Amino acid sequence: MEIIFQHPENYAQIRFEAPKKLFVLSLKGKIPYDAYKAIFEKALELFIQTQSEYFIIDIHQIISSDPMARAWLVTQFMPKVVRKISVKTKVAIVKPQNVFQRFAVLALIPSLERIFGIKTNVSETYEEAYKWINE
Kindly report the backbone phi and psi dihedral angles of residue 56, in degrees, each rounded to the nearest multiple of 5, phi listed first.
Answer: -110, 125
Global confidence as pTM: 0.89
Q: What is the pLDDT of residue 92?
A: 93
C-alpha span between 105 and 70 (Å, rounded): 9
User: Which span out of 72-76, 107-111, 116-120 was modeled with the highest average pLDDT?
Assistant: 72-76
Q: Where are the alpha helices (DSSP H) in 8-125?
A: 33-49, 67-72, 78-84, 99-110
Count of positions (residues) in the chain: 135
**Are 55 and 89 within 8 A, CB to CB?**
yes
Percent pLDDT > 70 in the chain is 93
Does the pLDDT of residue 111 top 70, yes or no? no
Characterize the bridge pairing of strands 2-6 and 90-94.
unpaired
Q: Average pLDDT, stretch 71-76? A: 87
Residue type, 61: Q
Q: Which helix (H) or strand (E) holds 64?
A: strand 54-65
C-alpha span between 16 and 26 (Å, rounded): 11
C-alpha span between 132 and 92 (Å, rounded): 7
CA 20 vs. chain centroid, Å, equals 17
- Name the class of domain 2-133: alpha beta
